[in-house]
Structure 1
Amino acid sequence: MDNNQKGLFFLGIFLAIGLSIAGYFISQTIYNSKVALNTAEAKGLAERRVRADTANWDLVFSVSGKAKAELPDLYAEAEKRQKIIIEMLKEKGFEENEIEIGVIDYYPEEYRDENQNLVDQKHNLVGSITVNTHKVDLVAKVRADVNTLIARGIDIENRAPVYLFTKLNDIKPDMLREATKNARLAANEFAQNAGVTVGGIRSARQGSFYIKDAGNSYGDTEKIEKDVRVVTTITFYLTD
């Protein structure tokens, strides 16, 4: 065999080896691509009905007078009303450490005519009391009793309580398990129609937890009953 023939012989061998190697990588790439495409993405929903465990409730009271000289008497009256409200809250079942006493603020008002002459004035003292408690049902009950203070001549603003659910971490694990289970059920529905089987999890994305007042599409502080919701998005492998 001359040199030209030898060269062509070895060239043919190298070409064959190169093509076989290239073919392996191409087929492997196609295989991996096929595996990557054999997946199904499904969403899983979990919901819980819970009760608020914390309430923040503000009561605002005020006294007013015409003459600035009356301010000392007005402050004395404001402190008296403050004490009456606190005593009522304690009688109804709230503890001292659940009652926060705010400052008594002074707000003067002046009324002038078209020539800017002072024609009248008013001196207002406004105080606040906040109840921070885990006794959410008691707050709902005592709110109605506050109106009896109005009959006693106390100018009081009975503000709507803010009801909060603060124990989300206690229910998160169970809700995520339920959402994952529901996602797999959804993936199984798809797999049955496609004639394949759902395998392991390729990836998972947890959505945010949402807390809303029960029965409402918005708002999360007005009701004691709350709805907690989470949606997970999970990609499953599919097998024949």
Structure 2
Amino acid sequence: MAVLSVGLIGATGVLVKGVRRANDTITVTGASTERIRSDHVDWTVDVFQSGGSQQASYQGLQPSVQRTMAFLRAEGVQEEELTLGALRSEREDVRDPRSGEIRSTTWTTTQPVLIGSDDVERIRAISGRIGELIGQGVPLRSQPPAYTYTKLAEKRVDMLAKATRDARSRARAIAAEAGAGVGAITNADTGIFQITAPNSTETSDSGSYDTSTIDKDITAVMAVTFRVE
């Protein structure tokens, strides 16, 4: 709301100073906010295993990957929603602090299990139960699910139109105080889109896109210049 206030105050100053000149314009910031619901989710589960050699860590990893995949399928994740990511293998050496000689070597192999689905509620529920595998001895790390909205391009057009109408309404209210009217648009600048958690006050100069919640608030801002009549 701070942005809107600045825009309105600045516009009032321009209008009052020169409302009678033919080239007078007024610039007002309009905004539109709407609640949207995510229609896609991406979730990554990293299954890992350590061992004294690269081969040992890889071989020890396979049963854990199989148990993880079986758990996800049993929970209702479809085969086409499951993908195995690129395998990662890392070596960690422990050295003698004096001589620098290697005392021991540990290899850790990680298999990312990637889940992509349009059933966001089902995946949200499953992600809350994945800890059961840890209790069964499966070493894994569950990343937070990333919830997104795939129809954002279409929604942008609608939101910009609403923000422009809001700007015109504000401009008319300001112009009316000086006994003037508002005419055609002479310039329009699209502001930054903010997609945040519901009721969040977080903003960013480069725009924001929160993926932590299923429901989100999308805000579009337009700085619109109108001719004063």
Q: 1: CA distance between counterparts of 2:158 and 2:187?
A: 19
For normalisation by structure 1, the TM-score amounts to 0.76
Aligned to 2:23, what secondary structure does the other structure show? Answer: helix
Say whether residues 1:150 and 2:128 are aligned partners.
Answer: no
Describe the superposition over 1:160-193 as per-residue Cα deviations: whole angstroms up to 9, x where unpaired. 1222223112222322222122111111111211
Quick one: which amino acid aligns to residue 234 of structure 1? V
What is residue 237 of structure 1 aligned with on the other side?
A: 227
What is residue 34 of structure 1 aligned with on the other side?
A: 21
Which shifted more, 86-95 or 110-119? 110-119
Equivalent residue runs for 1:1-240 within 5 Å: 34-37=21-24, 39-66=25-52, 68=53, 71-72=55-56, 74-113=57-96, 114-216=98-200, 217=202, 220-239=210-229
Quick one: which amino acid aligns to residue 35 of structure 1? A
Shift of 1:131: 0.9
Structure possessing the higher radius of gyration over alpha carbons: 1
Q: 2: CA distance between counterparts of 1:206 and 1:151?
A: 51
Quick one: which amino acid aligns to residue 98 of structure 1? E
Aligned to 1:64, what secondary structure does the other structure show? Answer: strand
- Judging changes above 3 Å, is the alpha-carbon distance between structure 1 residues 231 and 117 closer, same or farther for their aligned structure 2 residues? closer
Q: 2: CA distance between counterparts of 1:205 and 1:105?
A: 46
Shift of 1:156: 0.6
Aligned to 2:199, what secondary structure does the other structure show? Answer: coil
Q: 2: CA distance between counterparts of 1:235 and 1:93?
A: 53
Q: Which has the higher helix share?
A: 1
Identity among equivalent pairs (%): 26
Describe the superposition over 1:57-110 as per-residue Cα deviations: whole angstroms up to 9, x where unpaired. 1111111223x3x835x4333122111111211221221121110233332322
What is residue 29 of structure 1 aligned with on the other side?
A: none
Shift of 1:149: 0.5
- Judging changes above 3 Å, is the alpha-carbon distance between structure 1 residues 109 and 172 closer, same or farther for their aligned structure 2 residues? closer
Aligned to 1:35, what secondary structure does the other structure show? Answer: coil
Q: 2: CA distance between counterparts of 1:211 and 1:120?
A: 48
Quick one: which amino acid aligns to residue 72 of structure 2? L
Contact (CA 8 Å) 2:36, 2:215: kept in 1 or not?
yes
Aligned to 1:36, what secondary structure does the other structure show? Answer: coil
Describe the superposition over 1:198-238 as per-residue Cα deviations: whole angstroms up to 9, x where unpaired. 22323322223222232331561222221211111222222
Large movers: runs of 4+ above 4 Å: none
- Judging changes above 3 Å, is the alpha-carbon distance between structure 1 residues 109 and 201 closer, same or farther for their aligned structure 2 residues? closer
- The gaps in structure 1 that reach 5 residues or longer are 1-32
CA RMSD of aligned residues (A): 2.1
For normalisation by structure 2, the TM-score amounts to 0.79
Q: 1: CA distance between counterparts of 2:187 and 2:93?
A: 67
Q: 2: CA distance between counterparts of 1:90 and 1:145?
A: 13
Aligned to 1:94, what secondary structure does the other structure show? Answer: coil
Number of aligned residue pairs: give it.
203
Which shifted more, 108-117 or 179-188? 108-117
Quick one: which amino acid aligns to residue 36 of structure 1? N
Aligned to 2:107, what secondary structure does the other structure show? Answer: strand
Q: 1: CA distance between counterparts of 2:142 and 2:133?
A: 10
